[in-house]
Amino acid sequence: MEALAKSQRIKLKTAATFSLMLYDLVVKGGRVMDPAQGLNERKDVAVSGGRVVEVASSISASNARRVLNASGKIVTPGFVDLHAHVALDVARLCIDAESVCLPYGTTTVVDAGSTGELNFPTFKRYIIDRCQTRILAFVNVESLGMIELTEEPPDYTDQGWPALISAVNDTFAPLFANRKNLAAVLRRYKKNVVGIKWAHHGLPLLEIARSVADDVGCPIMAENVMTPDSVRYLKRGDIITHLYLPSSKGVRGPGNGLRPDGGKQIVEEFHKAKRRGVIFDIGHGKGSFSWEEATIAFNEGLKPDTISTDLWTGNVNGPVYNMPTTMSKLLHLGMSLEEVVDASTAKPAAAINMRGLIGTLRPGSMADMALVRVVEGKHPLVDVRGKRRLADRLITVTDVVKGGRIVNTFSRA
Protein backbone atom coordinates (compact mmCIF):
# COMPACT_ATOMS: atom_id res chain seq x y z
CA MET A 1 0.00 0.00 0.00
CA GLU A 2 2.69 2.33 1.07
CA ALA A 3 4.77 1.52 -2.03
CA LEU A 4 1.79 2.20 -4.32
CA ALA A 5 1.11 5.53 -2.66
CA LYS A 6 4.74 6.48 -3.11
CA SER A 7 4.71 5.59 -6.80
CA GLN A 8 1.50 7.62 -7.29
CA ARG A 9 3.14 10.57 -5.57
CA ILE A 10 6.08 10.33 -7.93
CA LYS A 11 3.76 10.17 -10.93
CA LEU A 12 1.83 13.19 -9.76
CA LYS A 13 5.01 15.12 -9.10
CA THR A 14 6.35 14.25 -12.56
CA ALA A 15 3.10 15.36 -14.20
CA ALA A 16 3.10 18.61 -12.24
CA THR A 17 6.70 19.33 -13.21
CA PHE A 18 5.88 18.68 -16.86
CA SER A 19 2.80 20.85 -16.88
CA LEU A 20 4.84 23.68 -15.37
CA MET A 21 7.52 23.37 -18.00
CA LEU A 22 5.37 22.71 -21.02
CA TYR A 23 5.01 25.61 -23.41
CA ASP A 24 2.25 25.87 -25.98
CA LEU A 25 4.73 27.08 -28.55
CA VAL A 26 8.40 27.85 -28.88
CA VAL A 27 9.57 30.00 -31.79
CA LYS A 28 13.13 28.88 -32.30
CA GLY A 29 16.23 30.16 -33.96
CA GLY A 30 15.08 33.56 -35.24
CA ARG A 31 16.50 37.02 -34.76
CA VAL A 32 14.10 38.73 -32.38
CA MET A 33 13.62 42.37 -33.28
CA ASP A 34 11.59 44.03 -30.56
CA PRO A 35 12.33 47.76 -30.40
CA ALA A 36 10.21 48.15 -27.25
CA GLN A 37 12.83 46.06 -25.41
CA GLY A 38 15.80 47.26 -27.47
CA LEU A 39 16.21 43.66 -28.66
CA ASN A 40 17.78 42.74 -31.98
CA GLU A 41 19.52 39.41 -31.54
CA ARG A 42 19.11 35.69 -31.89
CA LYS A 43 16.59 34.49 -29.30
CA ASP A 44 13.91 31.88 -28.77
CA VAL A 45 10.43 32.92 -27.70
CA ALA A 46 8.24 30.71 -25.50
CA VAL A 47 4.49 31.08 -25.30
CA SER A 48 1.94 29.77 -22.85
CA GLY A 49 -1.73 30.60 -22.40
CA GLY A 50 -1.66 33.09 -25.25
CA ARG A 51 1.10 35.17 -23.69
CA VAL A 52 4.84 35.44 -24.14
CA VAL A 53 6.41 33.80 -21.08
CA GLU A 54 10.10 33.75 -21.90
CA VAL A 55 12.58 35.25 -24.35
CA ALA A 56 15.99 33.64 -24.02
CA SER A 57 19.07 32.57 -25.96
CA SER A 58 18.03 28.95 -25.92
CA ILE A 59 14.72 27.42 -24.87
CA SER A 60 14.42 23.65 -25.11
CA ALA A 61 12.01 22.49 -27.81
CA SER A 62 11.30 19.32 -25.84
CA ASN A 63 9.25 21.42 -23.44
CA ALA A 64 6.93 22.68 -26.17
CA ARG A 65 3.72 21.35 -27.68
CA ARG A 66 4.58 23.05 -30.95
CA VAL A 67 7.78 24.45 -32.37
CA LEU A 68 8.02 27.04 -35.11
CA ASN A 69 11.37 27.13 -36.83
CA ALA A 70 12.40 30.76 -37.37
CA SER A 71 15.95 30.11 -38.60
CA GLY A 72 17.03 32.75 -41.08
CA LYS A 73 14.04 34.92 -40.21
CA ILE A 74 13.35 37.97 -38.10
CA VAL A 75 10.76 37.57 -35.35
CA THR A 76 8.90 40.81 -34.67
CA PRO A 77 5.85 41.56 -32.53
CA GLY A 78 2.64 41.32 -34.56
CA PHE A 79 2.09 44.52 -36.52
CA VAL A 80 -0.37 47.15 -35.30
CA ASP A 81 -1.94 48.90 -38.31
CA LEU A 82 -3.27 52.16 -36.93
CA HIS A 83 -5.42 53.09 -39.93
CA ALA A 84 -7.49 50.72 -42.08
CA HIS A 85 -11.16 50.09 -42.92
CA VAL A 86 -12.35 46.68 -41.80
CA ALA A 87 -16.07 47.04 -40.94
CA LEU A 88 -16.80 44.48 -43.64
CA ASP A 89 -20.35 44.77 -45.04
CA VAL A 90 -21.18 47.49 -42.52
CA ALA A 91 -19.59 50.17 -44.67
CA ARG A 92 -19.12 49.22 -48.32
CA LEU A 93 -15.57 50.52 -48.61
CA CYS A 94 -14.29 48.05 -46.02
CA ILE A 95 -12.04 45.04 -46.55
CA ASP A 96 -11.82 41.72 -44.70
CA ALA A 97 -9.22 41.90 -41.93
CA GLU A 98 -8.99 38.11 -41.79
CA SER A 99 -7.72 37.81 -45.35
CA VAL A 100 -5.91 41.12 -45.88
CA CYS A 101 -4.47 42.00 -42.47
CA LEU A 102 -3.82 38.92 -40.33
CA PRO A 103 -2.04 36.74 -42.96
CA TYR A 104 0.41 39.59 -43.58
CA GLY A 105 1.45 39.99 -39.97
CA THR A 106 -1.10 42.55 -38.78
CA THR A 107 -2.41 40.95 -35.62
CA THR A 108 -4.04 44.21 -34.49
CA VAL A 109 -5.83 46.57 -36.86
CA VAL A 110 -7.47 49.84 -35.94
CA ASP A 111 -10.47 50.81 -38.03
CA ALA A 112 -10.27 54.53 -38.76
CA GLY A 113 -13.80 55.84 -38.61
CA SER A 114 -15.66 53.50 -40.97
CA THR A 115 -18.47 53.57 -38.46
CA GLY A 116 -19.97 56.26 -36.24
CA GLU A 117 -21.97 56.08 -33.05
CA LEU A 118 -25.03 54.75 -34.95
CA ASN A 119 -23.41 51.74 -36.61
CA PHE A 120 -20.40 50.95 -34.41
CA PRO A 121 -22.44 48.47 -32.31
CA THR A 122 -23.24 46.52 -35.52
CA PHE A 123 -19.56 46.52 -36.47
CA LYS A 124 -18.67 45.20 -33.03
CA ARG A 125 -21.30 42.49 -32.87
CA TYR A 126 -20.88 41.05 -36.36
CA ILE A 127 -17.24 41.71 -37.21
CA ILE A 128 -15.04 42.63 -34.24
CA ASP A 129 -16.40 39.90 -31.96
CA ARG A 130 -16.08 37.23 -34.67
CA CYS A 131 -12.61 37.88 -36.05
CA GLN A 132 -9.32 36.31 -35.03
CA THR A 133 -7.65 39.61 -35.88
CA ARG A 134 -7.72 42.01 -32.93
CA ILE A 135 -9.85 44.89 -34.19
CA LEU A 136 -10.06 48.25 -32.45
CA ALA A 137 -11.68 51.41 -33.75
CA PHE A 138 -11.65 55.15 -33.95
CA VAL A 139 -15.34 56.05 -34.07
CA ASN A 140 -16.23 58.64 -36.67
CA VAL A 141 -17.37 62.01 -35.36
CA GLU A 142 -20.22 61.73 -37.88
CA SER A 143 -22.94 59.45 -36.58
CA LEU A 144 -23.19 57.44 -39.81
CA GLY A 145 -19.48 56.86 -40.27
CA MET A 146 -18.51 56.36 -43.89
CA ILE A 147 -21.73 55.36 -45.61
CA GLU A 148 -21.45 55.83 -49.36
CA LEU A 149 -24.15 57.76 -51.16
CA THR A 150 -23.68 56.18 -54.59
CA GLU A 151 -20.80 54.51 -56.35
CA GLU A 152 -20.33 57.27 -58.86
CA PRO A 153 -21.94 60.49 -57.81
CA PRO A 154 -21.26 63.63 -59.82
CA ASP A 155 -18.54 64.73 -57.43
CA TYR A 156 -16.66 61.47 -57.56
CA THR A 157 -13.10 62.55 -56.89
CA ASP A 158 -10.19 61.93 -59.20
CA GLN A 159 -8.59 59.68 -56.59
CA GLY A 160 -11.64 57.44 -56.80
CA TRP A 161 -13.00 58.23 -53.37
CA PRO A 162 -16.77 57.66 -53.30
CA ALA A 163 -18.93 60.45 -51.96
CA LEU A 164 -20.20 59.76 -48.48
CA ILE A 165 -23.48 60.64 -46.92
CA SER A 166 -22.24 63.66 -45.09
CA ALA A 167 -22.80 67.31 -44.43
CA VAL A 168 -22.83 69.34 -47.63
CA ASN A 169 -21.43 72.36 -45.87
CA ASP A 170 -20.42 73.67 -42.49
CA THR A 171 -23.89 75.02 -41.69
CA PHE A 172 -25.43 71.55 -41.80
CA ALA A 173 -22.42 69.69 -40.45
CA PRO A 174 -23.46 69.66 -36.78
CA LEU A 175 -26.68 67.88 -37.82
CA PHE A 176 -24.55 64.86 -38.74
CA ALA A 177 -22.99 64.46 -35.32
CA ASN A 178 -24.44 63.77 -31.89
CA ARG A 179 -22.11 64.72 -29.04
CA LYS A 180 -24.05 62.87 -26.37
CA ASN A 181 -24.32 59.58 -28.27
CA LEU A 182 -20.71 59.77 -29.45
CA ALA A 183 -19.50 60.20 -25.88
CA ALA A 184 -21.76 57.35 -24.75
CA VAL A 185 -20.31 54.95 -27.37
CA LEU A 186 -16.76 55.95 -26.46
CA ARG A 187 -17.47 55.22 -22.80
CA ARG A 188 -19.52 52.07 -23.28
CA TYR A 189 -17.14 50.34 -25.70
CA LYS A 190 -13.86 51.25 -24.02
CA LYS A 191 -12.38 47.83 -24.77
CA ASN A 192 -12.78 48.31 -28.51
CA VAL A 193 -12.88 52.04 -29.16
CA VAL A 194 -9.64 54.01 -28.94
CA GLY A 195 -10.65 57.51 -30.04
CA ILE A 196 -12.49 59.73 -32.53
CA LYS A 197 -11.84 60.02 -36.27
CA TRP A 198 -12.27 63.32 -38.06
CA ALA A 199 -12.33 63.12 -41.83
CA HIS A 200 -14.17 64.35 -44.88
CA HIS A 201 -15.92 67.12 -43.02
CA GLY A 202 -15.31 70.72 -42.09
CA LEU A 203 -13.87 72.39 -39.06
CA PRO A 204 -17.19 72.63 -37.14
CA LEU A 205 -17.10 68.84 -36.79
CA LEU A 206 -13.46 68.99 -35.68
CA GLU A 207 -14.61 71.35 -32.93
CA ILE A 208 -17.20 68.78 -31.89
CA ALA A 209 -14.59 65.99 -31.99
CA ARG A 210 -12.26 68.15 -29.85
CA SER A 211 -14.84 68.84 -27.17
CA VAL A 212 -15.99 65.19 -26.93
CA ALA A 213 -12.38 63.90 -26.92
CA ASP A 214 -11.51 66.28 -24.07
CA ASP A 215 -14.64 65.29 -22.21
CA VAL A 216 -14.06 61.53 -22.54
CA GLY A 217 -10.26 61.66 -22.46
CA CYS A 218 -9.34 60.03 -25.76
CA PRO A 219 -7.26 61.00 -28.80
CA ILE A 220 -8.46 62.35 -32.15
CA MET A 221 -7.18 60.91 -35.41
CA ALA A 222 -7.43 63.74 -37.93
CA GLU A 223 -6.82 63.63 -41.65
CA ASN A 224 -4.17 65.88 -43.10
CA VAL A 225 -6.72 68.22 -44.68
CA MET A 226 -7.82 71.83 -44.22
CA THR A 227 -4.34 72.55 -43.05
CA PRO A 228 -2.85 74.34 -41.29
CA ASP A 229 -6.11 75.33 -39.54
CA SER A 230 -7.07 71.77 -38.59
CA VAL A 231 -3.61 71.05 -37.13
CA ARG A 232 -4.10 73.75 -34.50
CA TYR A 233 -6.87 71.70 -32.88
CA LEU A 234 -4.55 68.79 -32.22
CA LYS A 235 -2.89 68.18 -28.86
CA ARG A 236 -0.22 65.83 -27.55
CA GLY A 237 -1.27 62.23 -28.27
CA ASP A 238 -3.62 63.13 -31.13
CA ILE A 239 -2.76 61.72 -34.55
CA ILE A 240 -2.42 63.27 -38.00
CA THR A 241 -2.92 60.60 -40.64
CA HIS A 242 -2.27 60.74 -44.42
CA LEU A 243 1.06 62.36 -43.55
CA TYR A 244 2.47 62.35 -47.08
CA LEU A 245 -0.68 63.41 -48.88
CA PRO A 246 0.38 64.87 -52.23
CA SER A 247 0.70 68.62 -52.14
CA SER A 248 -2.49 70.60 -52.48
CA LYS A 249 -2.13 71.43 -56.16
CA GLY A 250 -2.75 67.78 -56.99
CA VAL A 251 -5.40 65.61 -55.54
CA ARG A 252 -7.63 67.35 -53.09
CA GLY A 253 -7.56 71.01 -53.90
CA PRO A 254 -5.99 73.82 -51.93
CA GLY A 255 -5.49 73.84 -48.21
CA ASN A 256 -4.46 70.23 -47.62
CA GLY A 257 -1.33 68.36 -46.64
CA LEU A 258 2.07 69.44 -45.38
CA ARG A 259 2.39 72.13 -48.06
CA PRO A 260 -1.12 73.59 -48.32
CA ASP A 261 0.26 76.68 -50.01
CA GLY A 262 2.02 74.58 -52.66
CA GLY A 263 5.37 75.98 -51.53
CA LYS A 264 8.68 74.17 -51.43
CA GLN A 265 8.71 73.80 -47.66
CA ILE A 266 6.47 72.23 -45.08
CA VAL A 267 4.48 74.85 -43.22
CA GLU A 268 5.68 75.64 -39.71
CA GLU A 269 2.45 74.45 -38.09
CA PHE A 270 3.51 70.82 -38.61
CA HIS A 271 6.89 71.31 -36.95
CA LYS A 272 5.08 72.92 -34.01
CA ALA A 273 2.66 69.98 -33.86
CA LYS A 274 5.57 67.52 -33.83
CA ARG A 275 7.23 69.44 -30.99
CA ARG A 276 4.08 69.37 -28.86
CA GLY A 277 3.74 65.60 -29.26
CA VAL A 278 1.17 65.12 -32.03
CA ILE A 279 1.70 61.69 -33.61
CA PHE A 280 2.44 61.58 -37.35
CA ASP A 281 0.90 58.59 -39.12
CA ILE A 282 1.33 57.36 -42.70
CA GLY A 283 -2.25 56.28 -43.64
CA HIS A 284 -1.08 55.43 -47.18
CA GLY A 285 -4.46 54.86 -48.84
CA LYS A 286 -5.37 55.42 -52.44
CA GLY A 287 -4.60 59.12 -52.47
CA SER A 288 -2.35 59.90 -49.54
CA PHE A 289 1.24 58.75 -50.05
CA SER A 290 3.58 60.46 -52.47
CA TRP A 291 7.30 59.83 -52.81
CA GLU A 292 7.84 63.52 -53.49
CA GLU A 293 6.05 64.67 -50.35
CA ALA A 294 7.75 62.00 -48.25
CA THR A 295 11.19 63.00 -49.51
CA ILE A 296 10.62 66.68 -48.70
CA ALA A 297 9.35 65.73 -45.24
CA PHE A 298 12.31 63.42 -44.56
CA ASN A 299 14.68 66.24 -45.53
CA GLU A 300 12.97 68.45 -42.94
CA GLY A 301 13.15 65.71 -40.30
CA LEU A 302 9.46 64.84 -40.40
CA LYS A 303 9.62 61.06 -40.39
CA PRO A 304 6.48 59.15 -39.44
CA ASP A 305 5.92 58.00 -35.88
CA THR A 306 3.59 55.25 -37.04
CA ILE A 307 3.22 53.31 -40.30
CA SER A 308 -0.30 52.40 -41.39
CA THR A 309 -1.99 51.31 -44.58
CA ASP A 310 -5.45 52.95 -44.82
CA LEU A 311 -6.49 49.73 -46.56
CA TRP A 312 -9.94 49.82 -48.17
CA THR A 313 -11.47 48.27 -51.28
CA GLY A 314 -10.02 50.97 -53.54
CA ASN A 315 -6.35 50.24 -52.77
CA VAL A 316 -6.07 46.62 -51.62
CA ASN A 317 -5.12 45.56 -55.14
CA GLY A 318 -2.59 48.39 -55.33
CA PRO A 319 -0.88 50.58 -54.56
CA VAL A 320 -1.18 49.59 -50.87
CA TYR A 321 -1.69 45.78 -50.93
CA ASN A 322 -0.80 45.16 -47.29
CA MET A 323 1.22 46.24 -44.26
CA PRO A 324 4.64 44.74 -45.22
CA THR A 325 4.53 46.49 -48.62
CA THR A 326 3.79 49.80 -46.88
CA MET A 327 6.61 49.17 -44.40
CA SER A 328 8.97 48.44 -47.32
CA LYS A 329 8.27 51.92 -48.72
CA LEU A 330 9.48 53.55 -45.53
CA LEU A 331 12.52 51.28 -45.51
CA HIS A 332 13.23 52.45 -49.06
CA LEU A 333 12.94 56.08 -47.95
CA GLY A 334 15.80 55.59 -45.50
CA MET A 335 14.34 54.48 -42.20
CA SER A 336 16.29 51.61 -40.66
CA LEU A 337 14.60 48.22 -40.34
CA GLU A 338 14.45 48.71 -36.55
CA GLU A 339 12.77 52.10 -37.01
CA VAL A 340 10.26 50.60 -39.45
CA VAL A 341 9.42 47.77 -37.05
CA ASP A 342 9.17 50.22 -34.13
CA ALA A 343 6.76 52.39 -36.15
CA SER A 344 4.66 49.30 -36.96
CA THR A 345 4.58 47.73 -33.49
CA ALA A 346 5.55 49.55 -30.28
CA LYS A 347 4.71 53.10 -31.38
CA PRO A 348 1.17 52.44 -32.68
CA ALA A 349 0.55 50.31 -29.56
CA ALA A 350 1.55 53.29 -27.40
CA ALA A 351 -0.64 55.62 -29.49
CA ILE A 352 -3.72 53.60 -28.52
CA ASN A 353 -2.64 53.19 -24.91
CA MET A 354 -1.73 49.50 -25.22
CA ARG A 355 1.99 49.76 -24.61
CA GLY A 356 3.39 46.57 -23.11
CA LEU A 357 0.33 44.50 -23.98
CA ILE A 358 0.74 44.43 -27.76
CA GLY A 359 3.51 45.65 -30.08
CA THR A 360 6.20 43.94 -28.01
CA LEU A 361 7.39 40.45 -27.08
CA ARG A 362 8.11 41.34 -23.47
CA PRO A 363 7.12 38.45 -21.14
CA GLY A 364 3.49 38.98 -20.16
CA SER A 365 2.50 40.56 -23.49
CA MET A 366 0.08 38.98 -25.96
CA ALA A 367 1.82 36.27 -28.01
CA ASP A 368 1.37 37.99 -31.39
CA MET A 369 4.27 37.63 -33.81
CA ALA A 370 5.27 38.07 -37.42
CA LEU A 371 8.10 36.06 -38.92
CA VAL A 372 9.76 38.26 -41.47
CA ARG A 373 12.15 37.82 -44.34
CA VAL A 374 13.79 40.83 -45.94
CA VAL A 375 14.22 39.85 -49.57
CA GLU A 376 16.98 41.58 -51.52
CA GLY A 377 16.54 42.34 -55.20
CA LYS A 378 14.84 44.98 -57.35
CA HIS A 379 11.29 45.44 -56.13
CA PRO A 380 8.97 47.98 -57.78
CA LEU A 381 7.01 50.06 -55.27
CA VAL A 382 4.39 52.54 -56.47
CA ASP A 383 2.97 55.65 -54.82
CA VAL A 384 -0.56 57.06 -55.21
CA ARG A 385 0.44 58.98 -58.32
CA GLY A 386 1.74 55.87 -60.04
CA LYS A 387 5.37 56.87 -59.56
CA ARG A 388 7.51 53.77 -59.40
CA ARG A 389 10.65 53.29 -57.31
CA LEU A 390 12.88 50.25 -57.33
CA ALA A 391 13.57 49.16 -53.77
CA ASP A 392 16.48 46.90 -53.01
CA ARG A 393 14.77 45.34 -49.99
CA LEU A 394 11.25 44.02 -49.60
CA ILE A 395 9.74 43.10 -46.24
CA THR A 396 7.77 39.86 -46.50
CA VAL A 397 5.93 37.86 -43.86
CA THR A 398 6.19 34.06 -43.86
CA ASP A 399 4.42 33.07 -40.64
CA VAL A 400 2.02 34.71 -38.22
CA VAL A 401 1.25 33.88 -34.60
CA LYS A 402 -1.81 35.42 -32.93
CA GLY A 403 -2.47 34.82 -29.24
CA GLY A 404 0.02 31.95 -29.26
CA ARG A 405 -1.58 30.15 -32.22
CA ILE A 406 0.06 29.76 -35.59
CA VAL A 407 -2.53 31.32 -37.91
CA ASN A 408 -0.59 31.46 -41.14
CA THR A 409 2.51 29.87 -42.56
CA PHE A 410 3.26 30.96 -46.09
CA SER A 411 6.59 29.21 -45.73
CA ARG A 412 4.93 25.79 -45.52
CA ALA A 413 2.29 26.33 -48.17
Q: For residue 164, list its beta bridge partners.
A: 148
Q: Which is nearer to Zn ion, 68 or 231 (CB)?
A: 231
Answer for the pair 206, 222: CB distance below 8 angstroms, yes or no: yes
Q: Which is nearer to Zn ion, 305 or 310 (CB)?
A: 310
Taking alpha carbons only, the member of 352, 285, 317 closest to residue 108 is 352
Q: Minimum distance from CB of 146 to Zn ion (Å)? A: 8
Q: Minimum distance from CB of 241 to Zn ion (Å)? A: 7
Taking alpha carbons only, the member of 237, 153, 245 closest to residue 195 is 237
Among 100, 112, 231, 273, binds Zn ion (CB under 5 A): 112
Q: Which amino acid is at 66?
A: R
Q: Minimum distance from CB of 285 to Zn ion (Å)? A: 6
Query: Applying CB under 5 A, which part among 112-120, 168-176, 243-251, 256-264 lies near Zn ion?
Result: 112-120
Q: Which is nearer to Zn ion, 113 or 250 (CB)?
A: 113
Q: Which is nearer to Zn ion, 117 or 310 (CB)?
A: 310
Name the E strands within 171-262: 193-198, 220-223, 239-241
CB-based contacts of 180: which residues, under 8 Å, 6+ apart?
Answer: none
Count Cβ atoms below 10 Å from residue 47 Cβ, excluding itself: 27
Site for Zn ion in 306-345 (CB under 5 A): 310
Distances (CA, A) of 38 to 41, 106, 342, 361, 378: 10, 21, 10, 11, 30
Site for Zn ion in 211-250 (CB under 5 A): none
Q: Minimum distance from CB of 115 to Zn ion (Å)? A: 12
Q: Which is nearer to Zn ion, 223 or 293 (CB)?
A: 223
Taking alpha carbons only, the member of 303, 300, 323, 301 closest to residue 311 is 323
Q: Minimum distance from CB of 135 to Zn ion (Å)? A: 15
Q: Minimum distance from CB of 245 to Zn ion (Å)? A: 12
Distances (CA, A) of 286 to 42, 201, 206, 234, 364: 38, 18, 23, 24, 37
Taking alpha carbons only, the member of 177, 145, 134, 74 closest to residue 365 is 134
Query: Applying CB under 5 A, which part among 41-49, 155-163, 303-311, 341-349 lies near Zn ion?
Result: 303-311
Q: Report if residue 52 touches Zn ion, rule: CB under 5 A.
A: no
Angle between helices 323-332 and 337-344 (to 10 degrees): 140
Q: Which is nearer to Zn ion, 285 or 359 (CB)?
A: 285
Q: Which is nearer to Zn ion, 46 or 97 (CB)?
A: 97
| # binding residues, Zn ion (CB under 5 A) | 2
Element (H, E) at 337: helix 337-344
Q: Which residue is nearest to Zn ion (CB)?
A: 310
Q: Which is nearer to Zn ion, 385 or 405 (CB)?
A: 385
Q: Minimum distance from CB of 141 to Zn ion (Å)? A: 14
Q: Minimum distance from CB of 169 to Zn ion (Å)? A: 22
Binding site for Zn ion (CB under 5 A): 112, 310
